[in-house]
Amino acid sequence: MRLKKKNYIVIVGCSQFGATIASTFSQQGCDVVVIDQNDMAFRKLEYGFSGYKVIKDGTDVEVLIQAGIEQASLVVAATDDDNANLMISQMAKEIFNVEEVVSRLYDVDKQILYRDLNIKMIRPTRLTMDEFDKLVMKREGGKF
């Protein structure tokens, strides 16, 4: 097992979410690797992205090893597939002992699967509803 590097980040999924995170960390001088099966997805990365791009399946253990997950201090599962994100997160946490793992989760009914894994979740649907509530509730106490 390789030693962990403080600012070594692996992001699986070059969705708009993944690309934005990757670009931000790259601008901060972190070592960033982005994995996506679709080479066109990398167009979402900002100009000047200085990290690495791996055009392969991020649910494959060998691909994760090739991307340097063994030395990562942070893994972000940012695909558009909840099941893939769960699988990537579990491998990062349980096989590679990555200290910090963040996973995007659309279906809130699946959050129970994360309960004992010590994985942080970003739930876009919940965040959107929270923001909607703030906007609507401003109007006359939220009543129509």
Q: Taking the C-alpha atoms of 126, 132, 133 and 138 in order, what is their torsion angle to the nearest 10 degrees?
A: 160
Q: Which two tokens mark 81?
A: 């597939």
From CA 115, how far away is CA 131, in angstroms rounded?
Answer: 25
- Degrees (nearest 5) of the Cα angle 97, 24, 120? 35
pTM summary value: 0.86
Three-state secondary-structure class, residue 108:
helix
pLDDT in tens, 82-121: 999 999 999 999 999 999 999 998 877 776 666 777 788 8
Domains of the chain with CATH codes: 8-142 (3.40.50.720)
From CA 107, how far away is CA 80, in angstroms rounded?
Answer: 11
From CA 51, how far away is CA 31, in angstroms rounded?
Answer: 6
pLDDT in tens, 10-63: 999 999 999 999 999 999 999 999 999 999 999 999 999 999 999 999 999 999
